[in-house]
Structures are given as structure tokens and as C-alpha cells.
A and B are shown apart, each in its own frame.
Chain A
Amino acid sequence: MPRWLTEDEYGVLTAMCERLIPADETPGATDAGVVDYIDGLLGAFSFDPPRIWAGGPSSGRFGGTPGFATFHPLTALDELAWRTRIEGSLGRPEREFNGAVVGLQEQYRSGLAMLGPDFAHCEGEEQDRRLHAHSDFTELVYGHACEGMYGAPEYGGNRDGVGWSNIGFAGDVQPRGWTDREVSEA
């Protein structure tokens, strides 16, 4: 179940992200759960604490305690910033001290609608044509897709670290770190 997207939107965004970061001989955006990363950002405030900043100092993937899974509590100002960024300013004066803000939720809702309800069932060329026709939205989603593909799995994407293993990147290596030899030699 998506946290914030509707089932239909989830389907369109899945097709879109797979077009942005397609599977080839290794997993692509769908397999990596990129859409769950984005849905987790749009629905960050349905988690407690909100899913904005993963904890520290280590994930457990290289030893140590798995602190990433415990997200940081937000202060009132942090919450104001992130709710405004995600939900938009919604006419509330405390969010509009420098003017109205269009939130990510609205950008996604209208952007996915512009791609059309049949987007997931179109041929790849037609999908690309629509993505190019809405390039501002496509670039917004691509940035998030990159975060969901290559960010820490605790944010909902990069499932089982497939984004990292695909490119030979170790990810978060604390507390192991790298030996002097691994730093200095090929």
C-alpha cells in the first residue's frame, strides 16, 4: 500500500521511474523500490518520527548498531520546513513569510496527471515523448529517482542495496571504514 500516492498514481510513477532508470542486465528503478522512496518522501509525515533524516552513526551493514532505521525527531521549525516543502504553504501565514510555496505533493499529483492515466500502458517511445514534453516534472522526478536508487535503503529505495551493488559502491562503511592499503592502492 502506498503511503501517500493513490494506487493509480503509484502505477504511473512506477512506469515513469522504470523509464528513467531502466533495468538492463541488472535491476532498475522498479526492482530497487525507487517509487517507495518517493512515496516515503511525499508521505514522510505518516511515519513517526517523520521519515526525513535517518539516524546514525551506522546502519549495521558493516558492523555496529543499526542506527539508520531510527529516524531523527524533528523540531517545530524542522517540521514547518518539511511540511511546507512537501505539502505546500496551503495559505497558512506561518508558511508564507516569503510568499506561497507549491509543495511536492501538488507537483507530483499534477505532474502524474499530465502524463495521462494510460501512461503505464504506452509504448516506451510514447512514454519518452510525454516525459520530454513535461521536462520540468521529469527532471524533478529524476532527481528523486537518483536518491531512491543510490541513497540508503532505510529511506525506502535502493532495496537490498541493489543500486550500490550494481555500480560497485560499498555504501555506508562505518564503523569498518577503509584500511590504509585500500585507500592508497588500486
Chain B
Amino acid sequence: MTVDAIIVGSGPGGSTVADVLTAAGWSVVIFEKGRNHLIDLEDPSRLLGDYSNDEVKFIDRYFLGPDPFLEPRTFRVSPDEGDHSFVGEVNSIPTTVGGGGTHADGKVPRFREEDFSLLSTYGPQDGASVADWPLDYTELEPFYTDVERRIGVSGEAGANPFAAWRSGPYPMPPGPSMYGSKLSCAAAESLGFHPYPAPGATNSEPYDGRPACNNCGFCAYFGCPTHAKGDPVAMLQKALLSGNAELRPETFVSRIRTDGKRATGVDFIGPDGVEHSMDARYVVVAGGAVETPRLLLLSGLEHPLIGRHLMTHFQTIVVGGFADLRLHGERGRAVTEVHDDAIVPDDGSRAAAKEAGLPWMRGGMVEHGGPALPILEAKIYRWGRTHKENMRSSPMRDRLWAFTMQGEDLPVPTNRIDLDPTIRDVRGFPVARYTYKPHPHELAASAHHGPRLAAILAEMGAEWTSIVTSPGTPGGPGDRTSEHAPISRHVMGTARMGDDPATSVADSSGRLHQLPNVVIADSSVFVTSAGYGPTLTLAALAARSAAAMVG
């Protein structure tokens, strides 16, 4: 049997491709190495109802995978540390049907026009491979519009003065603002910032057969129990209901098979633990920017840039404590407002860049939010007599408000994914190894913007503020090896796209230069990271790549 397309990975990228291809009548098999907790495969109109408001299950016990025992990853700051300095849970975006889309609270911003042309807009940076993308915002805009409709995105056009142009309104209006967010937005506005409703893959009203979000608050890190979050269940469900797609969970694709010029199919290990093969006209790789280069390397592909230019977002987390407020961050979506002021250079950031010896500096989208989960909170406090007093007065949860800046991370060739030489997964294959160290740009941007965010919290009435970053700064407080690994689930750039096969792995439609019927449909192809969550952009690129496949 030869299917039209094998899709490796059922996250937002793979699901988008599956939706487009099956609508065009293609036969598709989707392989997912994680478990299925999302869709009843006997009757895809039914959802399984496995997700729940359960902190033990999702935070402490890896329900969405990957289990770090079965599928560890390794980390090192640089080769000076040897094979690796840490083994275990590194930046583990979910391994489950629905992929990374299941974990998030579903912020799905678009990039801005200049995000696609950093080199020509701002110029190079020493030690980084800053480059323009092989396509621009205008080419991608129809696909942004398309995937916003497929996913179901709520937002308010015109509310963000820094936003790229858009050809139409959001499919839905924004949902309700969190109480704390209303206060932090007012403080931010009084200091000249421009907060706006976060574009969300969360229904503010019934949409496409799924209900409106009921604000349960178990949002970031949890699958949505009501499926009010459209990313990526909406696309996956449509693909399966077309009758043209088959989804095979618990199935690990171990190799892309080729005849030297084209891919012919894949080898895979199913739940039976036995290796099988399947032939296909196309192989779409959508495992995310860690697992995708791992599969390309396991397949013996040899382009020198595979795995290089790994980018995450350099997170600057600024928290403030409020003795007189109860902010109840557990009510509502995890983030309801954001602001983009740190993304666009201004006089202050230009001066800070000059001071740091950098040609330019960009921060990232700033999320307004508060902690929601009591077990995470409890583990922060010391045990003993003070424990319950702390839990009742809740300085680290109910009286805390926070900004998280998703700082742009420059593409550095030595930051990379490769195969660890000694650590194996449960099936016996080498695991992905991170080698990652932030570029001075990220540290300088964080140092500049962090205090500006703290000032907003002070204006809001915070009695104290504190700034931490992820990855942690070597030599700084909390300097532990595991904390040098970035916690951001936003991973990008390990199979970058471009027109020149010497300086890029894939073309602007995600096709590998060396195997044109292998299509990358995830954030691996990103050339630069921008300061925005990658999901909508990777889904728009996937829709564009799929449209090119069906012609």
C-alpha cells in the first residue's frame, strides 16, 4: 500500500497539513508517538473526555508526555561540559495526540511584517546567523487568516497599535479579562504601554461545534476538558471525519526511507514494539523543532545545518507581590492580555543596545498573568509551622502578579539539536541533545526590559518585585545545571528555510532541498524566532506548504 502522505506528528503543524490534504481527497496516515487522550478514533466526532482540572495528573505525573524516563533528553551549555551535563526533562513540549497544541493556554499571535526580514531591516549581529525569511508577511497573510478560521481565534483587530495589517477581523471577539490583568493593563497604560486582548485559540462563544470557554482556569499545561480550545483538535477532527485520514498513536517513526533522490516511506515501531514500514508519495515531518531534526539525523540525512540554529524564547519573568489584593489567577484563561511594546525598538532600547555593544535589540511579547496552581505554590514554601500560614495568605500565588516576556532569541549556529552519544529512549534510539547558550543580545534585552516591567508592577501597587530568567544566568541565583536549559516550550529553527541549499535545509514551502517530497511542517523551518509564540505562524506555514503539495 502506498498512501499519498505520511504525516509524522499530530500537533498543530501535522494537523493543519492533514486537514488541508484530506479535504483535497488525499489519503493520509498520521503517526504520533504519544498516546491518544483526545479523539475517539472509532467515532472521531466524539472526544475522549480524558482531560481534567487535575494538577497531580498533568504537572506531577506527565499525563501529556513525554515521560522523562521513557524519552529523556539531554542538555549542555557547550561541548566544554562533555557529552551532556543534564539528563531528563528538557523543554518537554507534550508528546501526545494534539502535540504542543494541548499544553498551551492557546495564545496565537501573528508575527509582524519585519519579523520576516530582520537582516534587511536591522542588519547582522556578531555570532548569530540573522537572515531574512524566503517569504514575507504579505505571502503568508492569507494563510494566517485561513488557520485563524480553522482553529477558531478570538481577538480584537486594531487593539494592538504594533500589529501587522490583517485582511479581516478575528473569527471571534475576545473573552473576559482576568481581574489582575485589568489592573496590570491600567498600570501599563498609565506608563505609556499598549496592552491588548491576547489573540487566543480559545472560544469566546460557541464556534464550529465546540463550546465557549467556561474559564475553568486549568489552561496552560492542561489539555482543555471542554475542547473550547481549537488548537489543534479542530483540524485533527476534521481530517479524521473526512474518512481520508488514519491516526496511529503510540507509533514512533524511526527512519525516513529514501532511494537517494526521494523519500519512499518510513520505518516505524507501533504499540506492538515491532518495526514495520509504509510507503508514501510524501513524508511530512511535524515532530516539532526538537524531534524533527532528531528524525532527520536518525534517517542519516547529512545537511550540515540540520539541528543548528536552535532557538527558544528567552523568558524574562517579572513578578510582584500585593499584600492588599487577592488576584485569583486560577479563574479564566491563563493570559488574557499582552503587550508588544518591547518588540519594537525605541530610544531606550536603542541606547541599551549601544551600551551593550549590540547593533540593535528586540524583546518579545509580554504576557500579563498570575499563578493558579496550589501544589506548585506549596512546593515553593518551606515545610513546618509556617507552611499553612503561607498557603492561606498566599504571597506566591493569590497575591502575585507576573509578566513573562517571550524574548526574541537570535539564531546561533552552535545552538543545536543533535543525537546524544550515550543516552537512549525506551525503544533504543539515541535521544535529542540540546546544546544551548543565550546570545549576548538576549541577556542585554532582558536586562533592559525587565526593570521596565517591574516598574509597571510597582505602578500597579506591588510591595516588592523580582526578576528571574529562563534559562537561568550562569553564576546567578539558582544557578543549577538543569536551569541553564530553557523552560520555554517555544522551540524553533533547527531545519531553517531559505532559497539557497547551502545556507538552508528546506525551501519556502518546507520541502527539503535534498529530498523534495519530504516536507517540514513545524517551527523547525523558522529562520528567526520573533518575540511571539510560534504556533499560529507554524500552522500558517503548514497550510501554505500543504496547499503547494495539492497544487
Say whether B218 faces chain A, with CB atoms less than 8 Å apart.
yes
A97 in contact with B35 given A54-B56, A146-B378 (CB within 8 Å)? no
B92 nearest CB across to chain A (Å): 14
A131 nearest CB across to chain B (Å): 8
A57 to B388, Cβ gap below 8 A?
no
- Residues 50-95 (chain A) with a chain B CB within 8 angstroms: 52-59, 67-68, 72, 75-78, 80-81, 84-85
A183 to B177, Cβ gap below 8 A?
yes
- Mask: chain A, 162-186; 1 = CB below 8 Å from B; 0 = not: 0110111111111111111011111
Q: Complex Cα distance A53/B62, Å?
A: 9
B179 nearest CB across to chain A (Å): 6
- Pick out which of these stretches binds chain B: A7-15, A21-29, A111-119: A21-29
Residues of A within 8 A of B384 (CB): 19-20, 22, 128
Q: Complex Cα distance A171/B53, Å?
A: 8
B374 to A169, Cβ gap below 8 A?
yes
Residues of A within 8 A of B379 (CB): 142-143, 146
Q: Which of B182, B330, B374 has the most CB of A within 10 A?
A: B374
- Residues 335-372 (chain B) with a chain A CB within 8 angstroms: none
Say whether B67 faces chain A, with CB atoms less than 8 Å apart.
yes
A98 to B53, Cβ gap below 8 A?
no
Residues of B within 8 A of A20 (CB): 383-384, 387
A56 to B225, Cβ gap below 8 A?
yes
A174 to B383, Cβ gap below 8 A?
no
A56 to B51, Cβ gap below 8 A?
yes
Q: Which of B177, B182, B426 contacts A77 (CB 8 A)?
A: B426
A52 in contact with B61 given A80-B70, A84-B69, A152-B54 (CB within 8 Å)? yes
A10 nearest CB across to chain B (Å): 19
Q: Complex Cα distance A45/B428, Å?
A: 26
Say whether B159 faces chain A, with CB atoms less than 8 Å apart.
no
B330 to A169, Cβ gap below 8 A?
yes
Q: Complex Cα distance A173/B54, Å?
A: 10
Residues of A within 8 A of B217 (CB): 173, 178
Residues of B within 8 A of A104 (CB): none
Say whether A149 faces chain B, with CB atoms less than 8 Å apart.
yes
Q: Which of A24, A77, A97 has the most CB of B within 10 A?
A: A77
Residues of A within 8 A of B214 (CB): 174-178
B387 to A75, Cβ gap below 8 A?
no
Interface residues on B, range: 35 or more
Q: Complex Cα distance A78/B217, Å?
A: 28
Q: Which of B67, B70, B378 has the most CB of A within 10 A?
A: B378
Say whether B163 faces chain A, with CB atoms less than 8 Å apart.
no
A57 in contact with B70 given A166-B388, A183-B179 (CB within 8 Å)? no
B388 to A22, Cβ gap below 8 A?
yes
Residues of A within 8 A of B63 (CB): 53
A53 to B57, Cβ gap below 8 A?
yes
Residues of B within 8 A of A151 (CB): 54-56, 60, 375
Q: Complex Cα distance A88/B26, Å?
A: 47
B50 to A57, Cβ gap below 8 A?
yes
Q: Complex Cα distance A76/B436, Å?
A: 34
Q: How many residues of A contact B (CB 8 A)?
A: 64
A58 in contact with B426 given A77-B250, A84-B69 (CB within 8 Å)? no
Residues of B within 8 A of A174 (CB): 52-53, 214, 216, 218, 225-226
Q: Complex Cα distance A84/B67, Å?
A: 12
Q: Which of A26, A84, A179, A186 has the most CB of B within 10 A?
A: A186
Say whether B119 faces chain A, with CB atoms less than 8 Å apart.
no
Residues of A within 8 A of B383 (CB): 19-21, 131, 138, 142, 145
B60 to A72, Cβ gap below 8 A?
no
A184 in contact with B54 given A22-B384, A56-B49, A167-B391 (CB within 8 Å)? no
A85 to B69, Cβ gap below 8 A?
yes
B215 to A177, Cβ gap below 8 A?
yes
B426 to A67, Cβ gap below 8 A?
no
- Residues 111-141 (chain A) with a chain B CB within 8 angstroms: 128, 131, 138
B388 to A24, Cβ gap below 8 A?
yes
B82 nearest CB across to chain A (Å): 16
Residue of B nearest to A56 (CB): B52
A106 nearest CB across to chain B (Å): 16
Say whether B473 faces chain A, with CB atoms less than 8 Å apart.
no
A54 in contact with B52 given A98-B87, A143-B379, A184-B182 (CB within 8 Å)? yes
Q: Complex Cα distance A92/B240, Å?
A: 40
Residues of A within 8 A of B439 (CB): none
Q: Complex Cα distance A68/B225, Å?
A: 12
- Mask: chain B, 39-81; 1 = CB below 8 Å from A; 0 = not: 0000000000111111111001101000101101000000000
A97 in contact with B54 given A128-B384, A183-B215 (CB within 8 Å)? no
Q: Which residues of A contact B (CB under 8 A)?
A: 19-22, 24, 26, 28, 52-59, 67-68, 72, 75-78, 80-81, 84-85, 97-98, 101, 128, 131, 138, 142-143, 145-147, 149-152, 155, 163-164, 166-180, 182-186
Q: Which residues of B contact A (CB under 8 A)?
A: 35, 49-57, 60-61, 63, 67, 69-70, 72, 87, 175-179, 182, 213-218, 225-226, 250, 271, 273, 325-326, 330-332, 374-375, 378-379, 383-385, 387-389, 391-392, 394, 398, 423-426, 428
Q: A20-B384, A56-B51, A57-B226 are in contact. List 13 more A-B contacts (CB 8 A).
A: A21-B388, A77-B70, A78-B35, A142-B379, A147-B55, A150-B374, A151-B60, A164-B374, A167-B394, A168-B392, A174-B214, A178-B331, A180-B175
In the complex, 24 of the A-B residue pairs with CB atoms within 8 angstroms, ordered by the A residue number, are A20-B384, A24-B388, A24-B389, A52-B61, A55-B52, A56-B49, A58-B225, A68-B54, A77-B70, A78-B67, A81-B69, A84-B69, A97-B424, A97-B426, A138-B383, A146-B375, A147-B375, A150-B375, A152-B56, A164-B374, A166-B388, A174-B214, A178-B215, A179-B215
List the 6 closest pairs (A to B, CB-CB), nearest first: A177-B214, A56-B52, A172-B53, A146-B378, A183-B332, A180-B176
